[in-house]
Structure 1
Amino acid sequence: MPSIRLLVLACVIPLALGFKELKHVSYTQLPTSISSAGAELFQGIEKGTADAAAYDWVNHVLYVVGRTSHLMHVIDLTDPANPVRLFIHQFTRGEGFPNDIDICGGEIAVALSANREVNEGHVRFYHTYTRGSGATDVVLDGYVTVGPYPKSIRYTDDCQSVIVANEGIPGKDEFNTFVNPEGSVTIIHNERTGNPAVQTVDFRKYNTDDAAAWPYRVPSKYIPIRPTVAEGTEPEDVVVSSDGRTAWVTLLENDAIAEISITAQGLGLVNNAVRLPRKDWASKKVDTSDQDGGTHRRMYAGLKSLRQPGKIARLRIDNKDFLITADQGGVTSFTNAKHGFTWTDATTGKSLAANIDNPELKANANDVGYLGRLQVSSLEGKLFDGKNAELVMFGGRGISIWDSKNFVSPMFDSEGSIEEYTDSFFHDIFNCDYIASTATTKSPDTNKDTTSYRQGDFVSGLDVADDNGTVYMVVGMYGTGSLILYEVDTSAKVPIPMFQNIVRTGGVEDTWSTLYTNKKLGDLHISDLGIITSDQSPVDRPLLWVVGAGSGSVSIYNITESLPVIPGR
C-alpha cells in the first residue's frame, strides 16, 4: 500500500489540528543493587537494573524488574510527577534472573531464567500490592517450571492463561559442555486453581536437514555442532489475541513470526511459522557507515535487510487483528568463552566486495564510507554460483504493520523515516550509543553515528493502545533513548500511523558518566514501555511509562495536545 507509506513520510511536520505530544513529567533512577547492610547502591550504566515493567491499573502501581540486580521495584504512580518507590522485592540467586513481568487480575507473573541459562526457567506468581495495606513486600502465590531462558511473558485478557516465550539460548552446562536448548512456548492455564495445566509447545515439526524445507532462517545450523531446527529456533516476544485463542511469537534470529493456536483448555500447537520478506533499500535512505564523516543517508541498489522482529504489539480494528513489529535485527554469534568455539553469521560489505559482479554494488562495498563498514549477513544474498547478488544487513531499522493472516508484505513500513526524524530533530546525536570503555571521556554528541554500520538506532520499545477512540502508538529507540509518538488512523479499517512528535530527555554534551551521576542520562537503552489509557490513569489522561535498561531508570510522560515543533539545527 504505497499510499500509506507516502502519507506517513509526508507527515514529518504534522500541521493538522489535534496534534499530540509526549511531555516529560518525572524521572526515577533505580539502584543497581542493595548492599549487605541494606544500603541502595547506584553503580553506573548498563548494570541490569531495569529491564521490564508492568502496570497495575487498579492500584496505580508500576512494577519494574532488573535482570542483573535481582530486584523488583514497586512504584506508586498516583502522582505521576512525583513517583514514590514503595518497596523493593529481592529475588534470590537460586530463584534466577528476572527477564520479564506481566500483571492481570491482581496477580504478578515474573519470568526468570536459571543461573545457568541453558537450564530450565521458572515463572513465579505473586499477589499485587494493595493500596493502604501497609505491605512491605509481595506475597508468593506459587511457581511453575518452564523452558530454558524465558524471555517474554503475557497473560491472556481473561487472566486465565499465561503464555511464555522461551528463547532457549545456547551455552555451557555445569559440566562445561556446549548445550543448545530448544526454543519453545509454555502455556500455563488456570494457574489460580492451584493445579495449573502446563504445556510446552515445541518446534520439532520443522526438524530436517534439508535447508530448502526450513520455514525460516536457522543461522546456528552452520556452526560446528549442528543443532536441530527446533534448537536453532529462538522465541523473543509474544502477544496474545483478545479471545486468548492465538499467540504470535517473534523469532528474531530466525527473521520470522510463529502463530500458536490455543484451545479453551490451554493446549497449544504451532499452527504456522513464516519468514518475513526482506526490506529493499534501493529507494529508501539509510546511513550505513560510521566512517563517512557524519550523517549521510543514501539509497543503495542491491542493499536489503532482514527485518528480524523483536518487540511485537497487537491492534484490533473491526474484529481483525493487526500486528506491529519492532524490526530490531540481531547477529548470531558464538564465542570461545561462552560456547567453546567461535562463529558468527556477520561479516562486512568490504569482505564480500570481491564476490560481487555488479559494478555499482561492488564499488559501494569496497568503500568504508558507503557499504564497506556495514555489518551484513554471510549467509544471505548469494546466487547459485556463490556470487553475492546483494548485500543483506541485519534489522529493518524501524517498524512494520502486518495483517495477522498475511505476512507476504507489510501493510505499513516505516521505511527510513525513523532515521529521518532523528536526523531532523536530534541531528547532533544521530545514531549515537553508549560505549562502556569511553564512558568517562565521551558524550552522546561525540558518539554520534557510532551505530550506523550495525543496526542503526533500532526500535527496542513498542506499545499501542486505544484511548477512548484515539489510538496511540509509541516506539522507543535503543541508542539515543528517543521516543516517537504516532496517532493511528483507523477510519479506513486499516491502521495508518501519523507522526506526532519525537522527544528525548537525556543530555548531549556531558560525558556519559557525568550524565548518569547527575540523573541526566535520559532513557538510555529503552527496554520496555507502556501506554496507560485515560480510564486506567491516576490523573484521567493518557500517560506513558518508559524503562531504560542502560540508564537504570523509569520515566513518565503525559500524552497531551500541543502545537507542532519545526525542527532546526
Structure 2
Amino acid sequence: MHKRLLLALMISAALGCKKNDNKGPLPEPDFFVNEDAKTFAEIGTIDIGETGAAEISAYDPDTKKLFVVKNEGEGTAAAVNRIEVIDFKDPSKMTIIGNISVQPFGGVVNSLSVHSGKLAAAIQATDKTSNGKVVVFKTGDHSVISQINVGALPDMVTFSPDGKFIMTANEGEPNASYTTDPEGTVSIISVAENYAVTTLNFSSMAGQQNALMQKGFRVFGPSATFVKDIEPEYVTISADSKTAWVTLQENNGIAKIDIPSKTISNIFPLGFKDYNTDGNEIDPTDDDKAYAAAKWPVKGVYMPDAVAVMESNGTPYLFTANEGDAREYDTFAEVKRVKDKTVILDATKFPNAADLKKDGKLGRLNITTTLGDTDGDGDLDELYSLGARSFNVWNGSNGTLVFDSKNELDKEAVKAGVYDDGRSDDKSVEPEGITTGTVGRTKVAFVGLERADAVAVYDVSNPASPVFLQMLKCGDAPEGVLFIPAKDSPTKKSLLVVSSENDGVVKVYTPNTI
C-alpha cells in the first residue's frame, strides 16, 4: 500500500507540473497588510520648486521612481517645462536624481501616468489651441518610446489597468480672445498596435443637446457649437479596461466611452445642487472672517474636475471632486458678484433682492451669468454658483446620483483649522483631486481640497454612505492625489502622495498597521 501511495503521489505531482508548465507559474496570493485607514500620517516631504511645480505625480514600482510635473514661469524666457525624477526607494528621504525635458515636444506637460516601465506624458502644443502630444518614455533610462499626436490641450492622461490603452482628455480650450475654439476630444491609444490613436469628438451626441441641457448640461460659450464647447477634463477607466468615464467640467457632465469599439456611448448631465435645503448650507461671503453657514436661494453647478471609479457588487461607482471652473477670457467672462449692478434679480422670485445684494448676505457671492434667466426677460429668476463644495458618488452605469457629501468638507475643514474664509464667496474648499484605493480591508477615497491645503480621507466601503476619517494638511493648493497600494509600495505599506502646485511641495503619508 505504501508503494502504491507513493507511486500515485509521484504521478499526481508529474501531471501537476506538466499542467503548470503549460500555463505558467501558479499565482501568488494577493499581497495584504492589515492597516488602519484613519491613521495616515506624514512620513516624507520634498520641495521641487515654486508656483507651477509639483502639479501631478506618477510612481513606477519597477524603478522606484516618482515622476513629478514641473512647470514654472510659463510664458517667460525663464520658463521651466520638465518632469522631475525623484528617487522614491525611501519616501522619508526623497531626492531628485534627474529630469526629463519636455520642451522638444511642445509646450507645458499637464499630466503623467505609469504602467509596466512606461511613462506617458500629456503635453500641450506651444499654441494650446493646436493639437498636443502624448510622449511615452522608458522609466529606466527616460528614452523616448513613441510620440503620438492627440487633440488640443491634453489635460489628463492615463493607462488602462491592463496597460493596453492610453487615454487622454483633450480639453480644447479657446484662445484668450475666444476667436479660436478647438474641438474638445478624447484620444484612445492602442499600445499593442504601435501606439495607433483614435481621437473622438462629440459630434455623435450633438443631436441630444437640447435634451441634455434640460437636465443641467451646459453649452454656453460665445457662438458655441456642441462639438467645440465641450471641454473634457479627466479620465478614469474600469478594472476590466473596457469602459472609460470622462468629466466634462465646464459642461457639467460625464461622458461614458466604450473602449473596444472606440465610441461615446452616453453623456450624463449632472444637474444642480440646492443650497436652500438641510445639510447643504453654505457660507457665501468672504468678508466676515468666520464660517457662517446658512440656507440660501442658490444652486451649485457640480462641474467636477477629477473622477475615480470603484466597483462594488458589479456596479461601477464614480467618485467626483466637484471643483467648479469659470470661463474667464479677454472677451468673455461668465462670473459676476450678486451685488454687481448689472445683475438684476427678478422682483417676484426675489422680493428681498435689495437685502440679498448686501455684502453680509449674498452680495459677494460669485455666480454665473449664463444660467438663471428662465423666462428670457433679462433678469435672473435663479442664482447659480460654480462647483458644489463637495464630492459625489454617481452610478457609472446610468449616471444617477448615489451620494453627495453636502457641506461636510467645509465643516471638517473648519474643525481642522484649515478652512479659508477668503474663498467662501467663490468655491469654498474647492475639491479638485480625488482617488480611491484599498487600505487594509477598507476601501478609501482621498479628496484633495485646493483652497484648504488639505486632503480629506473617507471610508467608502459602502459607496452610498461614505464616512469621514481624517483631514491631512499638505502643501499649498494640492493638485495631484496619488495612492500607491501596499503591494507596489517601496515600504510595502500603503502610501498617499500629494503634490501641490502653488509651492512645489510633495508630501507622502502612510497609515499605521494593526
| TM-score tier (shorter) | 0.7 to 0.9
- Deviations along 1:70-102, one digit per CA (max 9) or x if unpaired, are 121111222121112221122225533111010
Structure 1 residue 418 corresponds to structure 2 residue 409 = yes
Q: Which of 301, 311, 315 pairs up with 2:310?
A: 315
State how 1:528-539 maps to structure 2 within 5 Å: 528-539=480-491
Report the equivalent of 2:99: 88
Per-residue deviation, 1:145: 0.4
Question: TM-score of the superposition, structure 1-length normalised?
Answer: 0.78
State how 1:56-455 maps to structure 2 within 5 Å: 56-68=60-72, 69-92=80-103, 94-129=105-140, 137-171=141-175, 178-189=179-190, 191-193=191-193, 195-207=194-206, 214=213, 216-220=217-221, 223=222, 226-263=223-260, 267-282=261-276, 283=278, 284-300=280-296, 302-335=297-330, 342-351=331-340, 352-359=343-350, 362-363=353-354, 365-384=356-375, 386=377, 387-408=379-400, 410-426=401-417, 429-431=418-420, 449-455=421-427
SS at match of 2:291: coil
Distance in 1 of aligned mates of 2:458 and 2:351: 37
Q: Which of 502, 508, 511 pairs up with 1:556?
A: 508
Per-residue deviation, 1:206: 4.0
Residue pair 1:478, 1:524 contacting (<8 A) in 2 also: yes
Report the equivalent of 2:499: 547
Report the equivalent of 1:514: none
Per-residue deviation, 1:148: 0.6
Residue pair 1:208, 1:228 contacting (<8 A) in 2 also: no
Distance in 2 of aligned mates of 1:498 and 1:209: 37
Amino acid at match of 2:274: D
Per-residue deviation, 1:359: 4.6
Q: Which of 4, 26, 47 pairs up with 1:29?
A: 47
> CA 1:57–1:496 in 2, change beyond 3 Å: closer, same or farther?
farther
> CA 1:125–1:115 in 2, change beyond 3 Å: closer, same or farther?
same
Residue pair 1:20, 1:561 contacting (<8 A) in 2 also: no
Per-residue deviation, 1:217: 0.6
SS at match of 1:422: helix
State how 1:455-474 maps to structure 2 within 5 Å: 455-474=427-446
Per-residue deviation, 1:346: 1.6
SS at match of 2:57: strand
Report the equivalent of 1:134: none
Residue pair 1:247, 1:262 contacting (<8 A) in 2 also: yes
Report the equivalent of 2:13: none
Query: Number of matched residues?
Result: 466
Distance in 2 of aligned mates of 1:479 and 1:327: 13
SS at match of 1:230: helix
Distance in 2 of aligned mates of 1:210 and 1:543: 42
Per-residue deviation, 1:388: 2.9
State how 1:39-54 maps to structure 2 within 5 Å: 45-46=50-51, 48-54=52-58
Report the equivalent of 2:17: none
Report the equivalent of 1:6: none
Amino acid at match of 2:163: C
Distance in 2 of aligned mates of 1:196 and 1:463: 27
Amino acid at match of 1:270: I
> CA 1:90–1:361 in 2, change beyond 3 Å: closer, same or farther?
farther
Residue pair 2:423, 2:429 contacting (<8 A) in 1 also: yes
SS at match of 1:423: helix
Report the equivalent of 1:7: none
Per-residue deviation, 1:210: 7.4
Distance in 2 of aligned mates of 1:315 and 1:210: 29
Per-residue deviation, 1:531: 1.3
Structure 1 residue 478 corresponds to structure 2 residue 450 = yes
Per-residue deviation, 1:424: 1.4
Residue pair 1:163, 1:185 contacting (<8 A) in 2 also: yes
- Deviations along 1:276-330, one digit per CA (max 9) or x if unpaired, are 0201111222111112343211111x21110001000011112221000000001
> CA 1:251–1:116 in 2, change beyond 3 Å: closer, same or farther?
same
Residue pair 1:461, 1:529 contacting (<8 A) in 2 also: yes
Residue pair 1:309, 1:328 contacting (<8 A) in 2 also: yes
Amino acid at match of 2:322: D
Distance in 1 of aligned mates of 2:484 and 2:449: 19
SS at match of 2:453: coil
Residue pair 1:219, 1:332 contacting (<8 A) in 2 also: no
Report the equivalent of 1:34: none
Per-residue deviation, 1:116: 0.5
Distance in 1 of aligned mates of 2:81 and 2:218: 34
Report the equivalent of 2:31: none
SS at match of 2:93: coil
> CA 1:558–1:360 in 2, change beyond 3 Å: closer, same or farther?
farther
Distance in 2 of aligned mates of 1:304 and 1:458: 16
Residue pair 2:106, 2:132 contacting (<8 A) in 1 also: no
Distance in 2 of aligned mates of 1:142 and 1:196: 7
Distance in 2 of aligned mates of 1:545 and 1:369: 39
Residue pair 1:70, 1:93 contacting (<8 A) in 2 also: no
Amino acid at match of 1:290: D
Distance in 1 of aligned mates of 2:319 and 2:344: 35
Distance in 2 of aligned mates of 1:58 and 1:298: 51
Distance in 1 of aligned mates of 2:263 and 2:430: 31
Residue pair 1:353, 1:366 contacting (<8 A) in 2 also: no
Residue pair 1:66, 1:99 contacting (<8 A) in 2 also: no
Residue pair 1:292, 1:368 contacting (<8 A) in 2 also: no
Distance in 2 of aligned mates of 1:59 and 1:451: 41
Q: Which runs of 5+ in 1 are unaligned?
A: 1-16, 32-44, 130-136, 336-341, 432-448, 505-521, 563-569
Q: Which has the larger displacement, 470-479 or 98-107? A: 470-479
> CA 1:312–1:228 in 2, change beyond 3 Å: closer, same or farther?
same
Distance in 2 of aligned mates of 1:363 and 1:227: 34
Question: TM-score of the superposition, structure 2-length normalised?
Answer: 0.86
Q: For the aligned residues, what is the CA RMSD?
A: 2.3
Distance in 2 of aligned mates of 1:148 and 1:354: 38
The percent identity for this pair of structures is: 25
Residue pair 1:544, 1:559 contacting (<8 A) in 2 also: no
Higher-Rg structure is: 2
SS at match of 1:412: strand
- Deviations along 1:425-449, one digit per CA (max 9) or x if unpaired, are 20xx522xxxxxxxxxxxxxxxxx2
